[in-house]
C-alpha cells in the first residue's frame, strides 16, 4: 500500500500561492463542467458559453461587466468583514433592502435630477446599513454567531420584498406577474450600450477606498489584528465593539449601494426571483471575495471573472434549458475547491509507495 505523510510548509512564495489558487479555481470550474456534461450537456458548448463568449464577444463582455460591477462593490464590503474574521453572508438581504429603500425614495420623493439619483442611492446605502445592524449589534455585544443571524436576515428580507410586491407596491398593470411599478425616469441611471458607466465609476472608487481602508488606515490595522488573532487584539486594547460595528456598517452600506444601483440602472422595478434586483449576486460576491484572497487589488479581476461566469451560467441556463441553480452550483464548486486549496498551500503531501 502507500503511506501518506503530511508536512507543514514554512516558506511559501507568493507565486506558488497564486499558482495554487488559479489551479484550484480551474479545478472548481472543471468539476462544474463535468457535472454539466453528466447532465447531458455538450462540454464544448458549456465551455464556450461559460468562458469564451462572456470574455471575448463584445456583447457578452458588456453584460459580464454589468454583473461584475455590483459583485465587485459588494465583495469589497465583504472583504472588510472577512478580514476581521466576521463571516457575514447577509449581503444578499442587505442588497435587497437597499433596493427596497431606494425604490421607496423613488416612489415617494419628488426631486429633480441628478439630485434624485444621488438621494436614492444614499437612501439605499442607509437601507443596507440598517439591515446589517441587528446581526452587527448582536455580534458586537454578545458575540452571537454572525453566519446564522445574517442568513436569517436574508430570509426575512425575501419575505419583506414578497410582501411589498404582492401587497402595497403591487402594480395593477402587471397582468398577474407580481411586479412593482417602474420607478420614475428621473431616478434612473442612464446606460451606454447597456453598461451603466456611472456604476463602473462607483465601482472603481469603492475598490480604491477599500484598498486605502484595509491597507493604510487604523481601522484596517485593527481589522487585520482581529482577523488573525482576536484574543491578542482584544488584550491589546483594540475595541471589539468598534471593529465589528464599523465593518458591518461598511459592508452593509456597500451591499445596499449595489442593490440601489441595480434597481436604478438596470431593473427599474422590484420583482420576485428572476426579476428580482439581487439576482443572487450577494452570494456570488462571497465567492469573488474569497477568490480575491481578501486583497482589494485582486478584487478587480476576481469580480470580472465572476461576472463573466454568472453571465455564462445564465446563458447555459437559457440555452440548455436549465434553472438558476446553475449559478449556485458553480459558485459552490468553485468555493469548495478554493477552500480546499488552502491545505495545499500550508502543507505538503509526501506519498511513499511500498
Of residues 160-219, which lie at the interface with another protein (CB under 8 A)?
160, 162-163, 166-167, 212, 216-218
Relative to beta strand 347-353, strand 2-8 is antiparallel
Whose Cβ is closer to another protein: residue 20's or residue 191's? Answer: 20
Q: Which stretch binds another protein (CB under 8 A): 4-12, 114-122, 178-186, 301-309?
A: 4-12
Binding to another protein (CB under 8 A): which residues in 302-341?
A: 322-333, 335-336, 339-340
By CB under 8 A, residue 159 contacts another protein? yes
Whose Cβ is closer to another protein: residue 189's or residue 223's? Answer: 223
Residue 244 near residue 227 (C-beta atoms within 8 A): no
Using CA atoms, how far residue 212 sits from 73, 172, 184, 245, in Å, is 15, 47, 36, 19
Whose Cβ is closer to another protein: residue 59's or residue 342's? Answer: 342
Whose Cβ is closer to another protein: residue 182's or residue 332's? Answer: 332
**Distance (Å, rounded) from C-alpha 133 to C-alpha 324?**
30
Residue 54 near residue 312 (C-beta atoms within 8 A): yes
**Distance (Å, rounded) from C-alpha 175 to C-alpha 160?**
22
**CA triplet 212, 266, 46: central angle to 5 degrees?**
90
**CA triplet 327, 328, 330: central angle to 5 degrees?**
65
At a CB cut-off of 8 Å and minimum separation 6, what does 6 contact? 347, 348, 349, 350
For residues 46 to 85, the per-residue mask of contacts with another protein, x marking binding by CB under 8 A and - elsewhere, is: ----------------------------------------
**Distance (Å, rounded) from C-alpha 147 to C-alpha 154?**
11
Task: State the minimum distance, in angstroms, from the CB of residue 190 to another protein.
Answer: 34
**Distance (Å, rounded) from C-alpha 120 to C-alpha 70?**
16
Binding to another protein (CB under 8 A): which residues in 127-146?
A: 134-135, 138, 142-145
Task: State the minimum distance, in angstroms, from the CB of residue 127 to another protein.
Answer: 17
Task: State the minimum distance, in angstroms, from the CB of residue 113 to another protein.
Answer: 33
Whose Cβ is closer to another protein: residue 158's or residue 200's? Answer: 158
CA dihedral 327, 328, 333, 338 (to 10 degrees): 90
For residues 221 to 260, the per-residue mask of contacts with another protein, x marking binding by CB under 8 A and - elsewhere, is: xx-xx--xx-xxxxxxxxx---------------------
Residue 165 near residue 172 (C-beta atoms within 8 A): no
Q: Which stretch binds another protein (CB under 8 A): 7-15, 69-77, 197-205, 258-266?
A: 7-15
Whose Cβ is closer to another protein: residue 184's or residue 332's? Answer: 332
For residues 91 to 130, the per-residue mask of contacts with another protein, x marking binding by CB under 8 A and - elsewhere, is: ----------------------------------------
Grid coordinates 420583482 are at which residue?
Answer: 271
Q: How many CB atoms lie within 10 A of CB 42?
A: 12
Comparing C-alpha atoms, which of 111, 47, 24 is closest to residue 320? 47
Task: State the minimum distance, in angstroms, from the CB of residue 347 to another protein.
Answer: 7
By CB under 8 A, residue 290 contacts another protein? yes
Comparing C-alpha atoms, which of 262, 280, 154, 247 is closest to residue 203? 262
Task: State the minimum distance, in angstroms, from the CB of residue 5 to another protein.
Answer: 5
Task: State the minimum distance, in angstroms, from the CB of residue 110 to another protein.
Answer: 28
Amino acid at each position: 500500500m502507500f503511506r501518506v505523510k503530511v508536512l507543514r510548509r514554512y516558506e511559501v512564495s507568493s507565486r506558488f500561492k497564486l499558482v495554487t489558487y488559479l489551479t484550484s479555481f480551474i479545478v472548481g470550474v472543471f468539476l462544474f463542467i463535468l457535472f454539466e456534461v453528466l447532465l447531458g450537456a455538450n462540454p464544448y458548448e458549456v465551455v464556450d458559453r461559460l468562458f469564451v463568449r462572456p470574455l471575448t464577444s463584445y456583447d457578452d463582455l458588456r453584460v459580464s461587466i454589468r454583473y461584475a460591477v455590483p459583485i465587485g462593490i459588494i465583495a469589497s464590503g465583504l472583504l472588510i468583514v472577512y478580514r476581521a474574521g466576521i463571516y457575514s453572508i447577509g449581503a444578499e438581504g442587505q442588497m435587497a433592502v437597499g433596493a427596497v429603500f431606494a425604490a421607496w425614495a423613488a416612489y415617494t420623493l419628488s426631486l429633480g435630477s441628478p439630485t434624485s439619483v444621488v438621494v436614492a442611492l444614499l437612501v439605499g446605502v442607509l437601507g443596507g446599513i440598517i439591515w446589517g445592524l441587528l446581526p452587527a449589534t448582536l455580534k458586537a455585544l454578545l458575540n452571537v454567531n454572525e453566519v446564522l443571524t445574517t442568513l436569517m436576515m436574508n430570509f426575512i428580507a425575501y419575505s419583506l420584498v414578497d410582501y411589498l410586491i404582492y401587497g402595497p407596491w403591487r402594480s395593477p398593470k402587471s397582468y398577474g406577474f407580481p411586479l412593482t411599478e417602474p420607478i420614475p425616469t428621473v431616478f434612473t441611471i442612464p446606460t451606454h450600450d447597456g453598461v451603466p458607466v456611472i456604476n463602473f465609476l462607483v465601482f472603481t472608487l469603492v475598490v480604491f477606498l477599500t484598498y486605502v481602508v484595509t491597507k493604510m488606515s487604523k481601522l484596517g490595522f485593527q481589522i487585520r489584528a482581529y482577523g488573525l488573532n482576536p484574543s491578542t487584539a482584544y488584550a491589546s486594547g483594540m475595541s471589539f465593539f468598534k471593529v465589528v460595528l464599523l465593518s458591518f456598517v461598511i459592508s452593509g452600506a456597500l451591499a445596499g449601494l449595489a442593490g440601489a444601483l441595480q434597481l436604478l440602472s438596470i431593473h427599474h422595478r422590484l420583482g420576485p426571483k428572476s426579476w428580482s434586483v439581487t439576482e443572487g449576486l450577494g452570494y456570488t460576491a462571497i465567492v469573488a471575495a474569497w477568490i480575491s484572497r481578501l486583497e482589494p487589488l485582486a478584487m478587480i479581476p476576481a469580480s470580472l471573472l465572476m461576472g463573466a461566469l454568472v453571465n455564462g451560467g445564465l446563458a447555459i441556463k437559457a440555452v440548455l434549458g436549465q434553472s438558476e441553480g446553475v449559478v449556485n452550483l458553480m459558485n459552490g464548486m468553485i468555493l469548495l475547491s478554493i477552500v480546499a486549496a488552502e491545505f495545499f498551500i500550508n502543507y505538503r503531501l509526501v506519498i511513499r509507495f511500498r
